[in-house]
Amino acid sequence: MSAALLLQLQRAEDRVTTLQGEMASVEEQIAGDPLLEQARIEAQRRLDEQTEADGAVNDLDREVTSMRARARSLEKQLYGGSVRNPQDLLTMQRELDVLVRQLGEVEDRELQLMEQAEEASSLTRSAAEQVATLEKHRAEEAAPLAKRLESVGAALVEAQKAREEIHARVPANELRLYERVGARRHPAVVQIVDGACGGCRLPLGLNEVRNARVGPGLVQCANCDRILAP
Ligand SMILES: [Zn+2]
């Protein structure tokens, strides 16, 4: 009969372990959502990229504005009649030609950058939407998780109490054997299944089976050392 008590103790201990695992899992879910953290990092990265792209467009825009102003001023001087020296006019014409060519190149580049900035802006928007969706989900989960933590916590207290009660009823020498076997084998106590050890599945002798059922002491499997419960 004492093996049956050890079997109860083992079940009570397994229940405590399971509930502790559940507690840890719920606590982890309350502490943080890895998906949300990831989405926030991604959203920040997209925002940084967009800021950089917008900055590049603005820089180039300022350059274009100043180049256009310079071109207008050159045209005014060239065609306004204020400059008459042919050498000066020639120099100005050359500068204007160079400026117009450069302006074309810079404007092409600006167009490219604007497209990139637009793409970055769209990616930033969807990353922010993803964060908002996950935050909403997390907010909805908060109350059920808190409730779950409470109920698992209560079940754990009950399970620990049950374990202590059984533990107190097991004789010290049997407890020592149970702990020694348990250090190497889990489960340490197994039931006999069709005349075989429920742990290693090896068939048991008739004597072993009888002793395990009606004998006064604990019987162990000769092969795996586990304690046999009827
Ligand atoms: Zn065995």
User: What residue segments make up the domains of the chain, in order of their start?
Assistant: 14-169, 173-229
pLDDT in tens, 51-65: 999 999 999 999 999
| For range 124-148, the mean pLDDT | 95
User: Mean pLDDT, to the nearest integer, of 125-141?
Assistant: 95
**pLDDT of residue 82 exceeding 90:** no
Among the four given CATH numbers 3.30.1320.10, 2.140.10.10, 1.10.287.1490, 3.40.50.10420, the one describing domain 14-169: 1.10.287.1490
Distance 176 CA to ligand 1 centre (A): 19
Give distance in angstroms: CA of 19 to centre of ligand 1: 28
- Residue 197: in which H helix or E strand, if any? strand 196-197
Q: For residue 83, what pLDDT is reported?
A: 83
CA–CA separation, 17 and 98 (whole Å) = 80
Q: How many angstroms is it from 206 CA to the middle of ligand 1?
A: 14
pLDDT tens string 102-113: 999 999 999 999
For range 136-160, the mean pLDDT: 96
pLDDT per position as a tens digit, 159-216: 999 999 999 999 999 999 999 999 999 999 999 999 999 999 999 999 999 999 998 8
**What are phi and psi for residue 156, nearest 5 degrees?**
-65, -45
Q: For residue 216, what pLDDT is reported?
A: 86
Strands 189-193 and 227-229: parallel
Distance 8 CA to ligand 1 centre (A): 19
User: Ligand 1 center to residue 209 CA distance, Å?
Assistant: 12
